[in-house]
């Protein structure tokens, strides 16, 4: 159903604005009239916005972010826990989001719930914002009458994953910046500076040291059309790999390679295990059946190899096997994780044990990431020093030779 933005006057003569869903602008006006407001303007929310002085740049570029969904989820948990009905809760959140793109989503959810549709079904109409995990958790909460608990669990889960993601990205910004800047400086030196410095040596028509000849060859490559061809081939190779990873076989091969990388492979596995444990624990605590929970985890674990292992476990659990035994047979999960889950199954505290596993591996991921970054920074500095030292020596050696000849 289309969504319309409107401006109007209420019964007190105050200017009001908002959004409303209706099949046509006429129906939107009729709905607003029944709410005792005098409509002055109605337009479809999706239509183009003219670039006038009244339009702010921030409003044009703003979009719904993951953090917006996290905040909305926390607000839902708080307001519903205080005893506020769901429709009234969605109304309050919608009014608070005035002018924000998220307001349209919340308003659409409110209208669906107000029409008698389950909230989970309304959420499923926005798959880009609300994942399968989110929708199924809400569906279980509606069935059990514990929406406030479900939204609190979802908010905790999303805040934890967002915090972990932010930490990893912020840790990688400095090394990535060093790589980009260092590569740019190196290309500039090789393509523009070194050829001018070495031109004198080539014009002397003397036998040059091997290091100098190598530098001249490298700089000639960077300054010629061959370097552009190399960049084009490299870009084509990257595109081909990305297209290939969209297929099941190519994606599986790439993800298996990631797990086998030295140092980084262990970090990738720990990330996948932490996501597996946290997601499964959250789903089971929310009342989702174990088979359905494993099916959801299979889609969000983030690694095709681990996902296939989870799928195999789910198939065996459906036949009556225990989860810990099947996780052990996959050989994709660390033994300590298998033992902890076996204890959880035996004691009936599987959700708590999964939370402990997730917390443990989150801490290990953070420690491993910090250690990797601490190793990368001096390594990159040393590498750049070696490159600069090679250039300096390659230029100075012919000068030393000329001094010896002059004597």
Q: Report pLDDT digits (tens) over 294-310.
A: 888 887 787 889 989 99
Burial class, 110, CB count within 10 angstroms (exposed 0-12 / middle 13-18 / buried 19+)? buried
Contact 28, 45 (CB under 8 A): no
Kindly report whether the global pTM for this prediction surpasses the value 0.85.
no
pLDDT, tens digit, 9 for 90 and up, residues 30-54 = 777 777 777 777 776 543 333 333 3
Q: What is the pLDDT of residue 19?
A: 67
pLDDT in tens, 141-153: 887 787 888 888 8
Contact 107, 20 (CB under 8 A): yes
Whole-angstrom Cα distance, residue 140 to residue 135?
A: 9
pLDDT of residue 404: 63
At residue 320, the pLDDT reads: 87
3-state SS record for 172-202: HHHHHHHHHHHHHHHHHHHHHHHHHHHHHHH
- In the chain the domains, ranked by start, together with CATH numbers, are 3-61 (3.10.20), 66-157 (1.20.81.30), 158-407 (1.20.81.30)
Calpha distance 75→70 (Å, rounded): 9
Percent of the chain exceeding pLDDT 70 equals 90
Q: Is the per-residue pLDDT at 5 higher than 80?
A: no
Q: Which residue has the higher pLDDT, 101 or 203?
A: 101
pLDDT at 360 over 70: yes
Model confidence over 84-100: pLDDT tens digits?
A: 888 888 888 888 887 78
Cβ neighbors of 379 (< 8 A, separation 6 or more) are none
Q: Which residue has the higher pLDDT, 61 or 198?
A: 198
Residue 315 pLDDT level (bands cut at 50, 70, 90): very high
Q: Which of 106, 95, 118, 114 lies closest to 64 in space, CA to CA?
A: 106
Q: How far apart are CA 74 and CA 377, in angstroms?
A: 38
């Amino acid at each position: 159903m289309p969504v319309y933005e409107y401006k109007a006057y209420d019964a007190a003569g105050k200017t009001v604005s908002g959004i409303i869903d209706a099949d046509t602008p006429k129906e939107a006006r009729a709905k607003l009239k029944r709410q005792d407001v005098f409509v002055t303007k109605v337009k479809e929310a999706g239509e183009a916005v003219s670039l006038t002085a009244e339009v702010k740049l921030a409003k044009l570029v703003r979009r719904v972010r993951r953090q917006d969904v996290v905040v909305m989820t926390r607000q839902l948990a708080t307001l519903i826990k205080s005893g506020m009905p769901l429709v009234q809760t969605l109304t309050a959140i919608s009014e608070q989001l005035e002018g924000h793109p998220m307001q349209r989503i919340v308003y659409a959810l409110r209208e669906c719930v107000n029409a008698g549709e389950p909230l989970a079904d309304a959420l499923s109409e926005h798959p880009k914002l609300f994942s399968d995990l989110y929708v199924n958790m809400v569906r279980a909460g509606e069935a059990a009458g514990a929406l406030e608990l479900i939204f609190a669990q979802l908010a905790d889960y999303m805040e934890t994953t967002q915090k972990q993601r932010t930490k990893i990205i912020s840790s990688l910004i400095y090394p990535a910046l060093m790589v980009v800047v260092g590569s740019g400086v190196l290309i500039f030196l090789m393509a523009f500076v070194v050829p001018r410095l070495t031109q004198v040596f080539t014009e002397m028509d003397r036998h040059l040291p091997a290091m100098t000849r190598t530098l001249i060859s490298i700089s000639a490559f960077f300054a010629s059309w061959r370097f552009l061809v190399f960049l084009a081939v490299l870009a084509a190779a990257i595109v081909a790999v990305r297209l290939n990873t969209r297929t099941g076989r190519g994606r599986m091969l790439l993800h298996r390679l990631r797990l086998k990388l030295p140092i980084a492979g262990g970090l990738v596995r720990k990330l996948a295990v932490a996501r597996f444990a946290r997601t499964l624990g959250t789903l089971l605590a929310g009342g989702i059946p174990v088979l359905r929970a494993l099916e959801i985890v299979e889609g969000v674990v983030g690694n095709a190899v681990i996902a296939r292992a989870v799928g195999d476990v789910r198939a065996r659990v459906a036949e009556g096997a225990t989860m810990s035994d099947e996780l052990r047979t996959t050989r994709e999960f660390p033994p300590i994780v298998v033992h902890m889950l076996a204890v959880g199954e035996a004691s009936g505290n599987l959700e708590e044990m999964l939370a402990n596993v997730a917390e443990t591996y989150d801490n290990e991921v953070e420690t491993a990431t910090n250690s990797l970054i601490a190793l990368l920074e001096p390594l990159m500095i040393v590498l750049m020093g070696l490159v600069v030292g090679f250039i300096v020596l390659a230029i100075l050696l012919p000068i030393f030779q000329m001094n010896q000849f002059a004597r």
